[in-house]
Amino acid sequence: MSATDAIPLRRSSTDLPALIAGTVETLQEQAAALDVALTVDAQPGLPLVNIDAEKIAWAVATLVGNAFRYVRRGSRRRPGGGIHVQLRAEDGSVVIRVEDDGPGITPDKLERLLVRGAGVRHGAGLGLMLIQDVVVAHGGTIEVQSRSDGFESGTTVVLRVPVT
């Protein structure tokens, strides 16, 4: 069985900006409780995509949920951090970026983040591996970028899904 056959998909022509906006809207109350800014920016005129909307919405909600765990929470003295979801068309794909300004991921953890291994435990990237399965089943890719130096920090997860 190939990676693209591993997860059954129920594809339909989907307005991705509307799907992602609705998904993020369900998370706004949690963001407000943490005093975290949660925003969506969609490029105008994105094409419809033939995806399993439920699985892609789950993937984005999971990425935002992961970011909630690491982004700075607000307090009376200082505002919380931010999570930004961006949608763009690039090279025949729709690209979904989920970016946070949390502490980032250390290089040693980053290089192993999407590598399957025996005994993977909760909190060790299992959610990202499942997201990877969903994206690969759609014929797409996932990439994790992170910076954790003293001046800038944060993580960006990039999902690329072909426009079909």
Q: Is the pLDDT reported for residue 26 higher than 70?
A: yes
Nearest-angstrom CA–CA distance, 30 and 57? 17
Q: Is the pLDDT reported for residue 151 higher than 60?
A: yes
Q: Which helix (H) or strand (E) holds 67?
A: helix 53-70
**pLDDT averaged over every residue in the chain:** 89
Q: Is the pLDDT reported for residue 95 higher than 50?
A: yes
Range of the domain at 114: 3-162
> Hey, CA dihedral for 91, 93, 98, 104, is it positive or negative?
negative
Give 76's pLDDT tier (boundaries 50, 70, 90).
confident
Q: What are phi and psi of 139, to 5 degrees?
A: 85, 15
Nearest-angstrom CA–CA distance, 60 and 46? 17
Q: How many domains does the chain have?
A: 1
Structural Rg of the chain based on CA atoms:
16
Domain harbouring 40, CATH code: 3.30.565.10
Chain Cα centroid distance, residue 103? 16
Task: Give the pLDDT of residue 58.
Answer: 97
Percentage, residues of the chain above pLDDT 70 = 90
pLDDT (tens digit per residue) in 99-142: 999 999 888 888 888 877 644 554 556 789 899 999 999 999 99
Task: Give the pLDDT of residue 122.
Answer: 47
Q: Is the pLDDT reported for residue 1 higher than 50?
A: no
Nearest-angstrom CA–CA distance, 36 and 14? 28
Task: Give the pLDDT of residue 17.
Answer: 97
**Tokens linked to 99:** 């970016």
